[in-house]
Structures are given as structure tokens and as C-alpha cells.
Copies of this chain bind each other. A is one copy, B any other.
Amino acid sequence: MTDFIEKLAAASTKNKSMVCVGLDPDSKLMPPGIGVFEFNKAIIEATSDLVCCYKPNFAFYEALGNDGLDALKKTVACIPDGIPCIADAKRGDIGNTARAYASAIFDHFGFDAATASPYLGYDSLEPFIERKDKGVFILCRTSNAGAADFQSLEVTVNGERRPLFEVVADTAGKWNKYGNIGLVVGATYPDELKTIHAAHPDMPLLIPGIGAQGGDLETTVKNGADKLGQKTVINSSRGILYASNGKDFAAAARKECLKMRDAINAVRK
């Protein structure tokens, strides 16, 4: 058990929640006149008793330059103790560069976990994996339309032919000596989610694709949720953040978050 894994289990249990709020600020959808940090802070204050974690995606902050990255750092710092925060950065680079990324994410920004791309192989992930107190979610079957372009290609390993994403999942499982590796599997591919969860029931799953992307919540829970409810992270970004773009945006976000949490728990019963 690692610190991130423990923290995720504790927050999931305390808040009875598999909901992860994706903190992806988009000025076109946010209430007019509000700053990114101010927006995130209000969302966090309105939802922190209802979630198992938060997940800002770096892209939305980088696109705003240094102001965005300032807001990101302040956002991570204002999340209540006990609620983990995942950096959705999807990094993947060679050894010394991967170490610099891990340092940026864990040390400079203070995240508890990160997403990472498998394409460059073990040494690109090692600097993340070796941070035993942190978590790393390896991209496996992503939620987008183009996911099939490479992830579903038929790969032959040990004489057996299987889709690439299954080989990625199995390989990540073999690398998981510290128990801090999870997988990213999109809710938009329920059959693939079922296969991966069945093959790796002990690995945490980060599941994007609910809501705006079209993934079905009930099927997602049935196919991907762990029994104890301590390592399944079901993300919603736009559906919660932009429930309203009026002055009631935080209250509206809380309402959507509560609805999602309870809908998940209703399926689990």
C-alpha cells in the first residue's frame, strides 16, 4: 500500500464516492468574469465532501501561460488534506526527461498521482513508478474516438494474438511491484473496461468518458467498479463544472456531483 493508494481508499470510503471531478477550466464555459483559481476553489469547496479525488488536466492551464500554471499550483494547494489530486498530464519521455516531469508534477506542483503514456516503455515510466508514495495511471484504452487506431491493433505476444491495450494492461501489472500503478480506461468502451477490470481486479482504474463524452454510468460501474469501492475513480469534468454558468455555478456543480455519486452507489447496491 502506498500513500496515494491509502489516501484514495480513505477518501473514497469517507465520502462514499467514486467521483473524480476533472478540473478543466474553459473560459468559454465558465461564468463570466471569474478567474481560474477562484473558479476551481469554489468548485472544490462545493464538492470536497462528495468526491474521492480531483484531476486537473495540464493542457487547460498551460494554454493560459504562467497565470494558468500559478492557478494550477494554487488549486492543488487548496484541496483539503485527505483528498488526493491526480495530474492528468499524460507524460511519456526518456529517462532523464521523465525524471524532470515527475519532479515537476510531484515536487513543484505537489500532486499525489499522475497519468502517463506507455508508448516509450518502462524506463519512461520508472521515475513515476519509483516514487512509491505516489500513483501513476498508465493510459490503456482511452475514451476518445481515435483510441482504436493503435490501442486495438492485434499484437502477438508468446504466440497469442490480443489487442495492444490488453498487452499494455498486462505489462503494467507486471511492473506493479509497489502496488502504485493504475490504468486509464475510458467509459466509452464498456466491453474493454470489463475485460481489463476482470483481468486486473486489484489495479486502480481511472475512468474518463462519462457525461459529455457519452459513456454510460450504470454500465461503467457494473463493468469497472471494485468491490470495496476504494480504487475506482470515475471522472466527470464538463458535466459537473459547467452545470450552470451563472452565479449559482458552485451550487449547481454540487448538485450534479451529488447526483453522480448517488447514481454510482445505487448501481453498486
Contact = CB atoms under 8 A, between A and B. Distances in A.
B90 A92 contact: yes
A164 B150 contact: yes
Interface stretch (A6-14, A151-159, A247-255, A260-268): A151-159
Given A59-B93, A167-B150, A120 B104 contact: no
Given A60-B100, A92-B92, A122-B146, A156 B157 contact: no
A145 interface: yes
Nearest to A154: B156
Interface in A32-77: 57, 59-60, 62-66, 69-70, 73
Interface stretch (A136-144, A194-202, A221-229): A136-144
B168 A150 contact: yes
A29 to B, nearest CB: 10
Interface string A157-196: 1000100100110010000000000000000000000000
Contacts of A168: 150
**Chain A interface mostly helix, strand, loop or mixed?**
helix
A171 B208 CA distance: 26
A104 B68 CA distance: 11
Given A92-B92, A93-B90, A100 B63 contact: yes
A62 B58 CA distance: 11
28 contacts: A24-B97, A26-B96, A57-B93, A59-B91, A60-B97, A60-B100, A62-B104, A63-B103, A63-B108, A65-B108, A69-B69, A92-B117, A94-B208, A117-B119, A118-B119, A119-B119, A119-B139, A119-B151, A120-B144, A121-B144, A121-B146, A121-B149, A121-B151, A123-B144, A150-B167, A153-B156, A155-B155, A156-B156
Interface of A: 24, 26, 57, 59-60, 62-66, 69-70, 73, 88, 90-98, 100-101, 103-104, 108, 117-125, 139, 142-151, 153-157, 161, 164, 167-168, 171, 208, 213
Given A66-B69, A121-B150, A123-B146, 8 more contacts: A57-B100, A62-B104, A65-B69, A123-B145, A124-B144, A124-B146, A125-B146, A154-B157
